[in-house]
Amino acid sequence: METREMNTRSFSSSHNRDLPYKVGVPPKQKLWKEFLSALKETFFSDDPLRPFKDQSRSRKFVLGMQAVFPIFEWGRTYNLAKFKGDLIAGLTIASLCIPQDIGYAKLANLAPQYGLYSSFVPPLIYAFMGSSRDIAIGPVAVVSLLLGTLLQEEIDPINNALEYRRLAFTATFFAGITQATLGILRLGFLIDFLSHAAIVGFMGGAAITIALQQLKGFLGIKKFTKNTNIVSVMQSVLTSAHHGWNWQTIVIGATFLVFLLFAKYIGKKNKKLFWVPAIAPLISVVLSTFFVYITHAEKKGVQIVQHIEKGINRPSVKEIYFTGDYLLKGVRIGIVAGMVALTEAVAIGRTFASMKDYQIDGNKEMVALGAMNVAGSMTSCYVATGSFSRSAVNYMAGCQTAVSNIVMSIVVFLTLQFITPLFKYTPNAILSSIIISAVIGLIDYDAAILIWKIDKFDFVACMGAFFGVVFVSVEIGLLIAVSISFAKLLLQVTRPRTALLGKIPRTHVYRNIQQYPEASKVPGVLIIRVDSAIYFSNSNYIKERILRWLTDEEEQLKAASLPKIQYLIVEMSPVTDIDTSGIHALEELHRSLQKRSVQLILANPGPVVMDKLHESKVSNLIGEDNIFLTVADAIQTCSPKFSDEV
């Protein structure tokens, strides 16, 4: 009896193994539930309301405040040890940001004090609302140049300084509105459309453009081109060589540029000496200012900063254009500048968060950046964002929380209140040297080489953005970067990969023959894998590509006098979705194969695909007996002798 039962179980088990497992049709979901599920996954994938579940009303209020102002969450565990780290970091980045801010304001064609204003109010707001512990907030070179370039195309910054400043505040306001809106509507994924390769190229091109722009101050040239492309700049530099250069200015600029680069070299060689390149710009400003003051070099043609307005930010709400001709121009410039600033800040935040192994909320970051720029536009600031050089110094100086931004902001406040008159004799050449030394780090050779090795199309995007910025303009370079990124995306969507599969020896595994040359084809069977969802944009191409695979295979078999193809198996594991056009393409493929006396077989369609095949009756057309769980199951039915060979 026991032996008979064991034999019966064994036979039953063996029999079950011989029968291929049928592909199930998922239970039908209600349309509303399906829509809500898709909506949640698109906009609320991080489930932001999860902490509020099953909480009291008072607790929900506290959690809500912490969600908007993260400082209330981490502030509860703040202590003296953390403050020591933040104090040192804040003082260090303040020494770096003060001379940089004066120079970056000039890049934006604004008076020097506006650069300092932008490192006072925005960092304070970010410290309360931001989720990154390491980002140092303030003006940055790329955004300053972009803003200055776009603004001067609309208004002359010299002859119409007031209107120019008002348009700058308007652009800053709408940059903040753009950033905050993206965060509130949870549309942060939009910035990911600008690929890493395009950003590398854009930043490198912008760095060279910024450095070239500094030749005006570095060489002491008074008449300089307003264009940013390399041809116009070099033409302007060379034509003024005989009468426009000032040798005293060149000596000051070159001397301190060498000093700054040497300080950077020391900081790279020994990480413990990170403070050397951090305070080098401030030391350069102090020494060069003192030198010009005692020698009266300004009387010999050395251009100086002259006057920096004393006092903290003045209200500028009334200066923002909310009506009139400049409103739409401010909106357009603000959106572009806001998106670039946002991309840079999020990239910096993610980089340092991964280094310290903590998470930042991208949507909260956008809201925080947007709020600080909206507030900044109302307090005489222009677009501020996360600075990579300052954030790196902040990180190496041992910052613990966003309090380092508050410390930096207080130092800038004291500078505006008491120290700005001392910058009167600061030579423009030293500001140019500081900016040149700062932007050199934006040219990432290693990243470009790695992009070349990994993906040639990405390298084209990188170089397109780079040459667009260098040879045309910053906005054209940005447009090229976005265009190539979208072109790559469209190419991948419209021309997905397909692969011919074969059986790995001594297994029941089927893999790409190109990757595994030892994989063998199944006699009379062609196995093709589609590596993409099937949509209207690629359905016709996929159908034609599969038929082309079949034609090529049949020609090879005919030449070798081998049996024709009887079965065509489409491996659908990577096919995550299919639309109406995709369904029609499958129907057309089935009809084309019938004319060739070839049976279409599907392997492992996912739940979404299977549901749509069932609803459209395509599963009946193909035959439910011709839809299998795996390729091995399909081969077991089509070519059982080959399937048994292991």
- In tens, the pLDDT along 509-546 reads 999 999 999 999 989 999 999 999 999 999 999 999 99
Q: How confident is the model at residue 66 (pLDDT cuts 50, 70, 90)?
A: confident
pLDDT value of position 13? 35
Cβ-contact 427, 219 below 8 angstroms: no
Percent of the chain with pLDDT over 70: 92
Q: How confident is the model at residue 41 (pLDDT cuts 50, 70, 90)?
A: low
> How far is the C-alpha of 466 from the C-alpha of 445, rounded, in Å?
12
> How far is the C-alpha of 430 from the C-alpha of 593, rounded, in Å?
74
Model pLDDT for residues 354-368, shown as the tens digit of each residue: 788 888 888 889 999
CA of residue 308 relative to chain centroid, distance: 36
Indicate if the pLDDT at residue 348 is higher than 90: no
Indicate if the pLDDT at residue 253 is higher than 50: yes
Burial 589-609 (b: 16+ CB within 10 A, else e): bbebbeeeebbbbbbbbbeeb
Q: How confident is the model at residue 592 (pLDDT cuts 50, 70, 90)?
A: very high
Indicate if the pLDDT at residue 5 is higher than 50: no
Is residue 126 helix, strand or coil? helix
Identify which has the larger pLDDT, 169 or 636.
Answer: 169
Q: What is the mean pLDDT of residues 424-435?
A: 93
The torsion of the CA quartet 6, 11, 12, 16, rounded to 10 degrees, works out to 140
pLDDT value of position 39? 67
Q: What is the mean pLDDT of residues 331-347?
A: 91
Q: How confident is the model at residue 29 (pLDDT cuts 50, 70, 90)?
A: low
pLDDT value of position 624? 87
pLDDT value of position 259? 95
pLDDT value of position 35? 67
> How far is the C-alpha of 145 from the C-alpha of 474, rounded, in Å?
8
Cβ-contact 568, 600 below 8 angstroms: yes
Strand 525-530 to 567-571 pairing: parallel
- Ramachandran quadrant class, 205 (left: phi over 0; alpha: psi -120 to 50; beta: rest): alpha
> How far is the C-alpha of 637 from the C-alpha of 628, rounded, in Å?
10
pLDDT value of position 3? 46
- Tell me the two tokens of residue 432: 């140019």
What are the strands, taking DSSP E only, across 400-558?
Answer: 498-503, 510-512, 525-530
> How far is the C-alpha of 154 from the C-alpha of 176, rounded, in Å?
20
**CA nearest neighbour of 368 among 128, 23, 587, 28:** 128
pLDDT value of position 103? 92
Could you identify the residue written with the tokens 């008076």? 111
Cβ-contact 574, 530 below 8 angstroms: yes
Model pLDDT for residues 454-465, shown as the tens digit of each residue: 998 889 989 999
Give the H or E element holding residue 610.
helix 607-615
Model pLDDT for residues 393-407, shown as the tens digit of each residue: 898 888 999 999 999
CA of residue 511 relative to chain centroid, distance: 34
Q: How confident is the model at residue 572 (pLDDT cuts 50, 70, 90)?
A: very high
pLDDT value of position 7? 43
> How far is the C-alpha of 553 from the C-alpha of 526, rounded, in Å?
8
Taking CA 110 as the corner, what is the angle to CA 337 and CA 96, rounded to the nearest 5 degrees? 80
- Tell me the two tokens of residue 443: 């040219």
Q: What is the mean pLDDT of residues 240-244?
A: 81
Indicate if the pLDDT at residue 4 is higher than 60: no
pLDDT value of position 636? 87
Q: What is the mean pLDDT of residues 494-517?
A: 92
- Tell me the two tokens of residue 637: 């039915």
User: How many alpha carbons lie under 13 Å from residue 302 in its C-beta half-sphere?
Assistant: 28
CB count within 10 Å of CB 556 equals: 11
- Tell me the two tokens of residue 504: 């790995």
pLDDT value of position 574? 93
Output the CA–CA distances (angstroms, integers) from residue 191 to 165, 182, 226, 366, in the order listed. 28, 9, 30, 11
Q: What is the mean pLDDT of residues 618-634?
A: 91
Q: What is the mean pLDDT of residues 408-430?
A: 93
pLDDT value of position 643? 55
Model pLDDT for residues 111-166, shown as the tens digit of each residue: 999 999 999 999 999 999 998 989 999 999 999 999 999 999 999 998 999 999 99
Q: How confident is the model at residue 15 (pLDDT cuts 50, 70, 90)?
A: very low
Q: What is the mean pLDDT of residues 548-576?
A: 93
Indicate if the pLDDT at residue 17 is higher than 50: no
pLDDT value of position 38? 66
- DSSP code string of 49-105: TGGGTT--HHHHHHHHHHHH-THHHHGGG--HHHHHHHHHHHHHHHHHHHHHHHHHH
Q: What would you report as the CA-atom Rg of the chain, rounded to the nearest whole angstrom? A: 32
